[in-house]
């Protein structure tokens, strides 16, 4: 079983975060922990709790509530503990009592010896003062964890088992929310950020196993940078019999227009268009594309092979029919953020027919996916051409294409994560995942395989390990306007 040592090995000291405004104490939102025994007790684990971070967005939904189906919803959840990896790493970097004594700041160097108890008290006081100073500096640089803890009364833990046990010796939470994001974690030669999602999960699973009791667990975005680790996470949850859910907000946000693939329809091809960096928002786009493709006839049966193309090879593949330009044009027609003439003088423009896409998207990438049942799908990452996420699909027996935009409200609203918070709350309350974690397992593997393809000079990569079969929920899970 992996321990703290492994993911500390992944981590580097975090750089200073952006400054944030002082927090205002509100009469609304979660009250202090007393008298809330009937609410579900939630532990939140994350990398960094600063303004605009993913942890900030999701944690605050459970502290102050969120907009949901025409009303303000306050979850039936009490956040009782929070672990912030950035804060814990900074605390670990503080000098130990031994280091202080070697610098002449702990043990006396001459004169009458001081009793051992007094020595320890002095060292502990100095260390506590240093940690207090580090927390003050973190708050000045944008960390919200201490102020939120003071405002809402949850425990700030220095390690994950403590967060699950709330300082005691028994499991003291009813659910776990894990939100990992980049905070100076290392990056491997494939461009993958080595976020310790697996290590966080394994530490929680060890507590569950030791206590012979497990609780629902939500993992934000992909399960791991490693498919074998992701597979083990899913298998561990099944072995210990607790519900595991994962993924991004795009599959459950609003759609423009309000459409989905009819359950059991024969999907022939799909083209998804998105923006972002490798091992970043590309996962969100794959997650959104998969939530529609999994509804096709026969359910999901897995992926046969992938290939990631870049630069001029992307456009050459389109001309050769590797992906459909008709589907691309349909997907782009749903975009609210086309670049080109729209920015110059407000004129609308067919970005595909006009031939301007290569000028706008100077570094395109195509994630070409071959499914086991013959379905083809391509994710086109077109930074510089648009600023949103859109899809088009060709469905047999329909005269028109199925296309929509996955709506992402501009910051600081983050209303798309409110849609996700509703699904997470449903997981916690019912102890049942509203959609299968196998979707995220598959998209985790697709992304890793695509980055493998890129690392191998964009070769086609066969993926027999991605023969993952599952059935989607019969009801569409996205928010309705």
- Provide the edge-to-edge strand list for the sheet that holds 461-462: 255-256, 402-406, 389-395, 267-274, 376-381, 365-371, 303-310, 461-462
State the Cα angle at 68 between 64 and 73, rounded to 5°. Answer: 40
402-406 and 255-256: which strand pairing? antiparallel
Token pair in block for residue 341: 């003439």
Mark whether 255 and 371 lie in a shared domain.
Answer: yes
Determine the pLDDT at residue 448. Answer: 98
Chain centroid offset of residue 454 CA: 22
Mark whether 275 and 208 lie in a shared domain.
Answer: no
Mark whether 201 and 346 lie in a shared domain.
Answer: no
For residue 333, tell me if it sits in a domain: yes
Mark whether 310 and 207 lie in a shared domain.
Answer: no
Q: Which of these, 408, 413, 394, lies nearest to 296 by C-alpha position? A: 394
Number of domains in the chain: 2
Quick check: 7 pLDDT over 60? no
For residue 110, tell me if it sits in a domain: yes
Average pLDDT, the chain: 88
Mark whether 334 and 388 lie in a shared domain.
Answer: yes
Residues 337, 386 contacting (CB under 8 angstroms): yes
Cα separation, 375 vs 461, whole angstroms: 17
Mark whether 124 and 257 lie in a shared domain.
Answer: no
Predicted confidence band of residue 410 (pLDDT cuts 50, 70, 90): confident
Structure pTM?
A: 0.86
For residue 101, tell me if it sits in a domain: yes
For residue 26, tell me if it sits in a domain: no
Sign of CA dihedral 352, 358, 362, 367: positive
For residue 411, tell me if it sits in a domain: yes
Q: Which residue range is the domain that position 138 belongs to?
A: 4-18+36-215
Residues 441, 230 contacting (CB under 8 angstroms): yes
- What's the mean pLDDT in 183-190? 93
- What's the mean pLDDT in 388-417? 93
State what percent of residues in the chain have pLDDT above 90.
75
Predicted confidence band of residue 119 (pLDDT cuts 50, 70, 90): low
pLDDT tens track for 330-378: 999 999 999 988 888 888 888 999 999 999 999 999 999 999 999 999 9
Determine the pLDDT at residue 309. Answer: 98
For residue 28, tell me if it sits in a domain: no
Domain boundary among 215, 239, 273: 215
How many CB atoms within 10 Å of residue 115?
A: 8
For residue 233, tell me if it sits in a domain: no
**Could you tell me the CA-to-CA distances from 471 to 21, 264, 435 in Å, in that order?**
46, 10, 9
Chain centroid offset of residue 367 CA: 20
Mark whether 269 and 132 lie in a shared domain.
Answer: no
Determine the pLDDT at residue 96. Answer: 56
How is 103-142 classified by DSSP, letter by letter?
TTSSS--SSSPPPHHHHHHHHHHHHHHHHHHHHHHHHHTT
Mark whether 163 and 289 lie in a shared domain.
Answer: no
Alpha helices in 345-381 (DSSP H): 357-360
For residue 349, tell me if it sits in a domain: yes
Mark whether 324 and 204 lie in a shared domain.
Answer: no
Mark whether 204 and 275 lie in a shared domain.
Answer: no
- What's the mean pLDDT in 1-6? 45
Mark whether 77 and 163 lie in a shared domain.
Answer: yes
- What's the mean pLDDT in 294-303? 98
Determine the pLDDT at residue 30. Answer: 76
If one compares 465 and 346, the residue with the highest pLDDT of the two is: 465
Quick check: 36 pLDDT over 50? no
217-220 and 376-381: which strand pairing? unpaired
Quick check: 205 pLDDT over 80? yes
């Amino acid at each position: 079983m992996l321990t703290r040592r492994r993911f500390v090995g992944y981590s580097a000291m975090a750089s200073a975060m952006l400054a944030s405004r002082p927090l205002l104490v509100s009469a609304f939102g979660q009250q202090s922990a007393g008298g809330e025994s009937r609410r579900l007790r939630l532990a939140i684990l994350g990398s960094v709790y600063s303004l605009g971070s993913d942890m900030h967005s999701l944690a605050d939904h459970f502290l102050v509530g969120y907009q949901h189906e025409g009303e303000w919803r306050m979850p039936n959840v009490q956040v009782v503990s929070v672990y912030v990896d950035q804060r814990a790493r900074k605390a670990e970097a503080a000098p130990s009592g031994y280091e202080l004594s070697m610098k002449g700041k702990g043990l006396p160097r001459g004169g009458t010896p001081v009793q051992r108890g007094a020595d320890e008290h002095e060292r502990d006081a100095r260390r506590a003062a240093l940690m207090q100073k580090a927390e003050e500096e973190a708050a000045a640089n944008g960390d919200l964890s201490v102020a939120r803890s003071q405002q809402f009364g949850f425990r700030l833990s220095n390690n994950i088992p403590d967060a699950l046990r709330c300082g005691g010796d028994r499991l003291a939470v009813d659910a776990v929310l894990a939100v990992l994001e980049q905070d100076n974690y290392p990056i491997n030669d494939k461009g993958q950020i080595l976020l310790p999602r697996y290590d966080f999960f394994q530490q929680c699973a060890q507590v569950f196993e030791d206590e012979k009791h497990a609780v629902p667990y939500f993992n934000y975005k992909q399960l791991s940078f490693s498919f074998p680790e992701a597979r083990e996470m899913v298998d561990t949850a099944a072995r210990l019999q607790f519900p595991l859910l994962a993924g991004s907000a795009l599959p459950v946000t609003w759609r423009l227009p309000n459409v989905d693939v009819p359950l059991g329809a024969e999907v022939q091809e799909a083209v998804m268009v998105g923006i972002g960096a490798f091992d970043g928002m590309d996962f969100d786009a794959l997650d959104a594309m998969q939530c529609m493709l999994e509804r096709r006839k026969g359910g999901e049966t897995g992926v046969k092979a992938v290939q990631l193309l870049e630069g001029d090879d992307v456009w050459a593949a389109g001309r050769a029919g590797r992906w459909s330009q008709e589907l691309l044009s349909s997907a782009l027609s749903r975009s609210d953020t086309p670049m080109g003439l729209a920015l110059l003088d407000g004129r609308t423009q067919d970005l595909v027919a006009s031939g301007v896409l290569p000028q706008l998207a100077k570094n395109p990438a195509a994630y070409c996916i071959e499914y086991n049942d013959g379905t083809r799908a391509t994710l086109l990452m077109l930074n510089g051409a648009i600023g949103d996420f859109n899809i088009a699909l060709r469905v047999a027996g329909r005269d028109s294409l199925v296309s929509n935009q996955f709506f992402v409200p501009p910051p600081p609203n983050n209303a798309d994560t409110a849609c996700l918070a509703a699904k997470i709350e449903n997981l916690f309350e019912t102890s049942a995942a509203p959609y299968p974690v196998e979707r995220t397992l598959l998209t985790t593997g697709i992304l890793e395989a695509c980055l493998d393809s890129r690392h191998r000079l964009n070769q086609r990569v066969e993926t027999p390990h991605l023969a993952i079969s599952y059935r989607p929920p019969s009801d569409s899970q996205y928010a309705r306007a």
